[in-house]
Structure 1
Amino acid sequence: MTSEPDTRRGMPQKLSDRAREQIRARIIAGDLPLGSVLRETELADALGMSKIPVREALVQLEREGMISMSPNRSARVFDMSPDDIRSLGEMRELLEAEALRLVLDRDGRTLAADLTAIVERMRTALKSGDARVYKELDNAFHHAIFAHCGNAYLEKTFQMLAFRVQALRNRLSLDMKLNDRSFAEHEALVRHVATQDAEAALKLLRDHIRDTTQNYLAQAGARPAARPPSRVRIEQMERFALAALAAAGADADTAAAVVKALSHASVHGVDTHGYRLLPHYLEGLRRGRLNPRPEIRLLRESSGAALLDGDDGHGARATYAAAAHAIRLAQAGGAGAVAIRGSSHFGAAGAYAVEIARAGMVGFCFCNSDAFVRLHGGAQPFHGTNPIAMAGPAGADEEPWLFDMATSAIPFNKVQLSRALGIVLPLDTASNASGVNVTDPDEARMLAPLGGGFGYKGAGLAGISEILSAALPGAPLSHELPPMISDDMETPRRLGAFVLALDPAAFAGLDIFTETLRRYRDTIRASATAPGATVMAAGDREWEEARRRRASGILLDMTAVEALARFGEETGIPPLELAET
């Protein structure tokens, strides 16, 4: 067998060994895709040797599990099914958490010193955008935990799996956006190890491995395993959110408005527009999409109407201000209409309609958003979800009448929430790029309009919201708006919205209005129902859910929980106390 000098060992290295090492390195680095066919001739040419040592190398790699050989001797790089990835993540969590526990049971200071040095090099690679160096250091970080655990059998067991972990990590680590989050977790883990905080270190390590496994699954196009949400007391959630918004630079008025809107949604069961959006808002504040200290200005005003500019602040800040002004206009003249421009995502439209209703008036709220809903029979995004909300006072001892709906079959955030929870979408609510309805949220490229086979009605309602929210304030149309979910978190979106307050006192009178509304609601509740069905008045479901959640806590999906935990770790905000559902 042909050999050449091995400068590392001072002895000849067989060509087959060199071929094995180089092919192995290319598989782990991601240069040879998982599941790809390996052709001896192509490998021999790439390595500058004959096919004989390459063939011997492939036999050795098959023994290691790096490749598989079919009966006709064709070779493929190992591949991993979604179940394989999940099982590998579970095994890695068991082994690595035990290795870290062993280190911390003795003394973690030596490991902390080594990890600190690695993290500093990771920081440099991250700043320079060198993904390949970063992934090598990421591998070194986790191998260091086993090297310090003092248990050779545990370390050797991990080595049997390490090439698979490393190959998956290397493919994921080419995404520098994911590396930003990964780095923050590595840095926090070093702090916990250095302070010998075993409980915090082990929890963070397990969460990191689970989160990474979900990313591997997403990259593989697999539906991640469903993760049930956690419960959080609303008072605790509000305290955390106020602190987080302040840490992101928001002024007190903005923070209060955002928390009020998010609490309305989460308490009333509108989880798509609740606190799961807080990480998104924090990123917008930090990166410049949202003005943290907007100057809300009235650009134009008449006896019953006004035009308000939100100064690119959070949508809740501008819309609560608009609702307050609409109430003042209605108190003076019976009706107050305020159009908004220069705004951003404001959460659940019902929050602002209820705000007006609690002032003893009938409130309406409309908004357009970036195009994500096809027309009836259409095959391209045209409208936003363009919500419509209405609320009215039902008397001092009654919750307001509350109607809040998207004009799409479902809101876009329902797609995101379904992805986070690992569940499918309802039938006929979302479509792929060709306009064909799908239930897999990962395939959804647009939403269907409300109405199913009569979707032209939903599209028509979306048009009403579009005209009031874009044409009246002079704001962009849906298809002209920057997308809400985008890598560009620096450019303001300049959304429009519209609120209307009607004072019943200017018509038949508040007492007559509330009595009639209660009678109408009571008649709905008492109406005959189909077998096994329930009839509810608008708002009944939301107010009942609010009573339950104020007592037992709101729901927060684990993707949001993990994102907020990372933010809290970065900013020193005490973590949320969670309870499983």
Structure 2
Amino acid sequence: MRDMDPNDIRIAARELTAFCAATLVKAGARSVDAQRVAEHLVTANLTGHDSHGIGLLPAYLKHAEAGLVDVEATPEIVHDHAAIVKLDGRDCWGRIAGEAAMAAAFPKAEALGVCAVTLSNAHHLGRIGAYGEIAVNEGFAALFFVNVTDHDPMVAPYGGTDSRFGTNPVCIALPPSGTKPSFLLDMATSRIAMGKARVAANKGLRVPFGSILDENGLPTDDPSGFKGFEQAGALAPFGNHKGYGLAFAAELLAGVLSGGGTIQPGNARRGGIRNHMTAILLSPDAFGDPAAMEREMEAMWDYALASPPADWDSPVVAPGDPERALKKRRSAEGVPLDPETLKQLNDAAKAVGVQQRLG
């Protein structure tokens, strides 16, 4: 698994976490919140989702300074009926709001077998797979649909030439079964995440052709329009009409059911990142014979992964396996960061009065 550009610098996760937490505290975050947000970002790096990692810190600091995240807010339950619970994040840090949504859903899912939980008005939730991990660690299966508002759209509809959607992630997670680890599918509905375009632009790299549309709506492999948190052009949906349809579904399920709203221009676009989410949590034990389900899960897992690989150096793996492998490696070797991202991080920390420097 190739994991490093020759120009990258590896930094230990604990150092990145301490740096990130100290910088967020200087920006006004409560120390306990800063630590949880920092751990959330760095864990995204550890699992290979650099687009949702510490490279977002400069944007988070700008949002705090502009009041686009409320560093003192606490999520609130605004509706609680039967198997449904709705929370309003009050623009608090996304990680804090996401944890609160999971905590509110667990008792209902345990008692009723299922819970539908929505979250509105949270700052950037980050890597949605992290909440899938929280769910499976408590023994639940979960489905997540997320949309984003408060800034301009980033993804073009299939057949379109300009952006009309966010990257609208979808996540499906199932707990471990027998000898098998948890199943974790976590994906953007764009061909690549916005953050991946930003990371590629920072490194001067190309992206897969057609994953980006240029300012004229034409497919390209040049991500330079996304450097430094700028946007010139649009991302394309994955799988053409299929990814577009799933992005549209996430927009409606997350934005409408939560009450937070969709990305249509009748809702405010202040330049922040505001996420809304609808999640469905399931208690597997409520569905019948746990032993039979475990046998079937293991049999299907073995069957799928036994397919002869197209490349014998890259065997077939299950969703969640690449993240687990990369987390183990990066925990030991450090997180690779490119020079441009390091500069952005150090400049952002200096601007709020943090003396520590990375690299």
Q: Please give the TM-score of this superposition, normalised by the length of structure 1.
A: 0.56
Tell me: CA distance 1:376–1:554, structure 2 relative to 1, closer, same or farther (3 Å): same
Match of 2:73 in 1: 294
Match of 1:521 in 2: 301
SS of alignment partner, residue 34 of structure 2: helix
Alignment counterpart, residue 206 of structure 2, candidates 405, 424, 429: 424
Instruction: State the distance in 2 between where 1:562 and 1:396 align.
Output: 46
Match of 1:462 in 2: 247
The aligned runs of 1:314-333 (5 Å cut-off) are 314-333=93-112
* Superposition deviation, residue 398 in structure 1: 4.9
Instruction: State the distance in 1 between where 2:54 and 2:298 align.
Output: 32
Contact persistence 2:99–2:131 (CA under 8 A): yes
- With a CA cutoff of 8 Å and minimum separation of 6, indicate the structure with the bigger relative contact order: 2
1:383 partner letter: F
Match of 2:287 in 1: 507
Instruction: State the distance in 2 between where 1:264 and 1:397 align.
Output: 25
Alignment counterpart, residue 536 of structure 1, candidates 314, 317, 320: 317
Tell me: CA distance 1:547–1:513, structure 2 relative to 1, closer, same or farther (3 Å): farther
Match of 2:13 in 1: 234
Report Cα offsets for 1:248-301 as digits up to 9, x if no partner: 111244324312321331111011111111121122112211100112100001
Instruction: State the distance in 1 between where 2:96 and 2:290 align.
Output: 28
Report Cα offsets for 1:21-44 as digits up to 9, x if no partner: xxxxxxxxxxxxxxxxxxxxxxxx
Tell me: CA distance 1:377–1:568, structure 2 relative to 1, closer, same or farther (3 Å): closer
Tell me: CA distance 1:482–1:535, structure 2 relative to 1, closer, same or farther (3 Å): farther
Alignment counterpart, residue 133 of structure 2, candidates 349, 354, 367: 354
1:534 partner letter: P
* Superposition deviation, residue 572 in structure 1: 3.6
Contact persistence 1:432–1:446 (CA under 8 A): yes
SS of alignment partner, residue 224 of structure 2: coil
Alignment counterpart, residue 406 of structure 1, candidates 177, 188, 204: 188
Match of 1:450 in 2: 238
SS of alignment partner, residue 389 of structure 1: strand
The aligned runs of 1:345-384 (5 Å cut-off) are 345-370=124-149, 371-384=153-166
Match of 1:131 in 2: none
Contact persistence 2:42–2:53 (CA under 8 A): yes
Instruction: State the distance in 1 between where 2:349 and 2:123 align.
Output: 24
The aligned runs of 1:175-186 (5 Å cut-off) are none
Alignment counterpart, residue 333 of structure 2, candidates 552, 555, 560: 552
Match of 1:564 in 2: 345
Report Cα offsets for 1:534-571 as digits up to 9, x if no partner: 32211111111111011111122323322332344452
Instruction: State the distance in 2 between where 1:549 and 1:524 align.
Output: 27
* Superposition deviation, residue 344 in structure 1: 2.2
Report Cα offsets for 1:60-112 as digits up to 9, x if no partner: xxxxxxxxxxxxxxxxxxxxxxxxxxxxxxxxxxxxxxxxxxxxxxxxxxxxx
Contact persistence 1:385–1:406 (CA under 8 A): yes
Higher helix share goes to which structure?
A: 1
Instruction: State the distance in 1 between where 2:156 and 2:94 align.
Output: 24
Instruction: State the distance in 2 between where 1:262 and 1:286 align.
Output: 19
Contact persistence 1:476–1:494 (CA under 8 A): no
1:255 pairs with 2:34: yes
* Superposition deviation, residue 504 in structure 1: 0.6
Report Cα offsets for 1:204-231 as digits up to 9, x if no partner: xxxxxxxxxxxxxxxxxxxxxx983321
Please tell me the root mean square deviation across aligned C-alpha atoms, in Å: 2.2
2:237 partner letter: P
Unaligned runs of 5+ in 1: 1-225
Larger Rg: 1
Q: How many pairs are equivalent? A: 343
* Superposition deviation, residue 420 in structure 1: 0.7
SS of alignment partner, residue 368 of structure 1: strand
1:479 pairs with 2:258: no
Contact persistence 1:430–1:446 (CA under 8 A): yes
* Superposition deviation, residue 368 in structure 1: 0.9
Instruction: State the distance in 1 between where 2:343 and 2:67 align.
Output: 23
Q: Please give the TM-score of this superposition, normalised by the length of structure 2.
A: 0.88
* Superposition deviation, residue 510 in structure 1: 4.6
SS of alignment partner, residue 571 of structure 1: coil
SS of alignment partner, residue 562 of structure 1: helix
Match of 1:243 in 2: 22
Tell me: CA distance 1:506–1:573, structure 2 relative to 1, closer, same or farther (3 Å): farther
1:361 partner letter: F
* Superposition deviation, residue 396 in structure 1: 7.6
Instruction: State the distance in 1 between where 2:47 and 2:268 align.
Output: 29
Alignment counterpart, residue 389 of structure 1, candidates 163, 167, 171: 171
Tell me: CA distance 1:528–1:482, structure 2 relative to 1, closer, same or farther (3 Å): farther
Instruction: State the distance in 1 between where 2:322 and 2:134 align.
Output: 18
The aligned runs of 1:131-280 (5 Å cut-off) are 228-280=7-59
Tell me: CA distance 1:384–1:309, structure 2 relative to 1, closer, same or farther (3 Å): same
Match of 1:168 in 2: none
SS of alignment partner, residue 352 of structure 1: helix
* Superposition deviation, residue 348 in structure 1: 1.1
Instruction: State the distance in 1 between where 2:30 and 2:290 align.
Output: 37
Contact persistence 2:190–2:235 (CA under 8 A): yes
Match of 2:229 in 1: none
Contact persistence 2:202–2:338 (CA under 8 A): yes
SS of alignment partner, residue 382 of structure 1: coil
1:459 partner letter: Y
